[in-house]
Amino acid sequence: MSSAKGQNFGRRLGFAGRGVLAAFRREASLKVHAAAVVFLIVFCVWDQTPAPWIAVFTLAAALVISLELLNSAVEAMIDRLHPEHHPEIGFAKDALAGAVLIASLASLIVFAAYSWIRFAGPI
């Protein structure tokens, strides 16, 4: 474990990158989200998606990945600090998972809206 306090910016970026890679190695759900991002990139290249939509897709994907990283980190910390089952810990884990779910569904709605406009015409 390392502390970013007092470290230069490059080292802090390294710590962050290491955390992202560690989470991708440990968490299957992050791999699923990463596959969705790869699909989205391929789709945008194929479709020649306009820049404003790419910006919206990027923000939506970043939100989902960020919340998934937060969910994974907090769950790991909770499991380490309080391994026994407790209703409040169950609530915290469920709420974190719910945040990821809501962001994921919102991202799907954004993609569906774009696809509808692009391929079926205005809503």
Sign, CA torsion 73/74/77/83: negative
Taking each helix axis from N to C end, the angle separating 87-120 and 51-81, rounded to the nearest 10 degrees, works out to 170
So which residues are the catalytic ones? 68
Cα dist from 49 to 40, 46, 64, 115, whole Å: 10, 8, 20, 10
